[in-house]
C-alpha cells in the first residue's frame, strides 16, 4: 500500500519524505488555507511537488464543469506531478471526462459511497478518495464503503486507484491495508504514531545501557 501525506505543510512533507516512505501528497482548500502565510499557493504546490517527486493532489474550487476544466489545466501546469482533485458532483463527472481525454489525472474527492466511486471510475478518474473518517463521524463504518469499492473495482478489473482518505488514526491505516486500498493518505501525526512502539523505545534503551557498560565504541 502506498502512503501519502494529507497536508499542505512543507515542513511536515520534508520530515516524512526524509524517512524514504512518502509516495505522494494530498491537499485540499482547507489544508492550503492553513498555509496562507507562505504566500502564493502555486509556489507552495511547486515546492511540494519538487520534494515529493510523486503525485500531489490539488483541488479545484469552480462548481461548473467548464470552470473546473480551466482550473485543472492551470493547476496541472505547475508540475507534471499534479493530480487534480474534482468533487464528486455531476459537474465534476463532466469535467473528469474532459480531463481524461486531455491526459490530466483526476482524483475524485468528497466520495462517500461505492455508487459515487463507480461513477468516478466510469468518468475516467485515475483515483477515487472515499472519506472514511467523515463517515465514521456521522455514525457509519466508513471502512465498509471502502471494502465495497474494492470488491466492485476487482469484479470489473477497474484500475482507478482507491485512496483511503480522511484518516484519523493508525487503526484506520491498518483497516486500509487489510481491505486492499491502493493508497492511504494521512496527517503527519498518524505517520509519527505508526512508527512508535513502547517496546521499541524500552528495547533500544536497554541495548544502549548494556553497551555503555562495556566501554566499547563502534567506529
Binding site for ligand G3P (CB under 6 A): 6, 26, 28, 131, 133-134, 165-166, 185
- Shortest gap between Cβ of 200 and ligand G3P (angstroms)? 27
Backbone angles phi, psi at 9, to 5 degrees: -90, 115
CA atoms within 13 A on the CB side of 145: 25
- Find the residue with minimal CB distance to ligand G3P: 166
Catalytic hit among 14, 36, 85, 196: 85
Nearer to ligand G3P, 177 or 204 (CB): 177
Nearest distance from residue 155's CB to ligand G3P, in Å? 26
User: Closer CB to ligand G3P, residue 70 or residue 134?
Assistant: 134
Tell me which residue has cell 471502502: 146
For the bound state, the minimum distance from the C-beta of residue 166 to ligand G3P, rounded and expressed in Å, comes to: 3
> What is d(CA 186, CA 16) in angstroms, rounded to the nearest whole number?
11
Active-site annotation holds for 85: yes
Helix (H/G/I), strand (E/B), else coil: 73: helix
- Contact 85/55 with Cβ under 8 angstroms? no
Helix or strand (DSSP H, E) at 83:
strand 82-87
Contact assessment for residue 176 and residue 142, using Cβ atoms and an 8 Å cutoff: no
DSSP 111: E
Contact between 73 and 100 (Cβ < 8 Å): no
If the CB atoms of residues 36 and 189 are measured against ligand G3P, the closer one turns out to be 189
How far is 151 from 145, CA to CA, in rounded Å? 10
**Please, which residue, 131 or 191, has the CB nearer to ligand G3P?**
131
CB of 132 to ligand G3P, least distance (A): 8
CB of 189 to ligand G3P, least distance (A): 11
Closest CB to ligand G3P among residues 17, 59: 59
Residue 68: strand, helix, or coil: helix
Active-site positions? 85
Amino acid at each position: 500500500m502506498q502512503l501519502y501525506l494529507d497536508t499542505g505543510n512543507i515542513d511536515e512533507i520534508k520530515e516524512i519524505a526524509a524517512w524514504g516512505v512518502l509516495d505522494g501528497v494530498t491537499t485540499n482548500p482547507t489544508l492550503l488555507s492553513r498555509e496562507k502565510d507562505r504566500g502564493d499557493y502555486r509556489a507552495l504546490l511547486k515546492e511540494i511537488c519538487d520534494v515529493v517527486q510523486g503525485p500531489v493532489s490539488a483541488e479545484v474550487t469552480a462548481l461548473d464543469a467548464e470552470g473546473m476544466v480551466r482550473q485543472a489545466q492551470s493547476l496541472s501546469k505547475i508540475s507534471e506531478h499534479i493530480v487534480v482533485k474534482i468533487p464528486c458532483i455531476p459537474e465534476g463527472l463532466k469535467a473528469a471526462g474532459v480531463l481524461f481525454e486531455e491526459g490530466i489525472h483526476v482524483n475524485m474527492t468528497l466520495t462517500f459511497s461505492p455508487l459515487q466511486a463507480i461513477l468516478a471510475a466510469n468518468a475516467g478518474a485515475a483515483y477515487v478518495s472515499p472519506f472514511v473518517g467523515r463517515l465514521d463521524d456521522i455514525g457509519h463504518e466508513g471502512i465498509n464503503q471502502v471494502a465495497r469499492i474494492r470488491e466492485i473495482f476487482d469484479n470489473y478489473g477497474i484500475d482507478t486507484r482507491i485512496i483511503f482518505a480522511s484518516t484519523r488514526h493508525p487503526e484506520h491505516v491498518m483497516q486500509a491495508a487489510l481491505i486492499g486500498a491502493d493508497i492511504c493518505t494521512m496527517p503527519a501525526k498518524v505517520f509519527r504514531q505508526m512508527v512508535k512502539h513502547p517496546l521499541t523505545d524500552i528495547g533500544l534503551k536497554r541495548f544502549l545501557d548494556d553497551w555503555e557498560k562495556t566501554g566499547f565504541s563502534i567506529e
